[in-house]
């Protein structure tokens, strides 16, 4: 009787261990999928950031700003610049 009880206890422990391994492997796979998705989102964010930096550099280019001011806003450079200094 004692042998059967020991055998039954060891069998239950073995089954519990096997189920635990399966559950842990499944959890590890889910975590790995989540990690890959997060890394992909990070890579996409880096690409978008680089694109935005390039766009910002293009928009801030001085020649482009001056051309826009002349064409759209019809601005011109002043003919002559005079500085008036008053002595008090």
Domain positions in the chain: 25-74
Cβ count near 69 (within 10 Å): 13
Q: How far apart are CA 40 and CA 50, in angstroms?
A: 15
CB 31 within 8 A of CB 25: no
> What is the mean pLDDT for each group of 10 consecutive residues in the chain (88 residues)?
92 95 97 97 97 88 80 81 78
pLDDT value of position 57: 87
CB 64 within 8 A of CB 58: yes
Predicted TM-score (pTM) of this structure = 0.56
């Amino acid at each position: 009787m004692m042998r059967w009880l020991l055998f039954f206890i060891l069998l239950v422990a073995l089954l519990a261990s096997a189920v635990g391994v399966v559950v842990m492997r499944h959890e590890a796979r889910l975590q790995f999928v989540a990690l890959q998705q997060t890394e992909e989102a990070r890579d996409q964010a880096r690409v978008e950031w680089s694109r935005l930096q390039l766009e910002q550099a293009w928009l801030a280019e001085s020649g482009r700003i001056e051309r826009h001011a002349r064409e759209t806003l019809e601005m011109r450079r002043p003919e002559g610049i005079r500085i008036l200094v008053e002595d008090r």
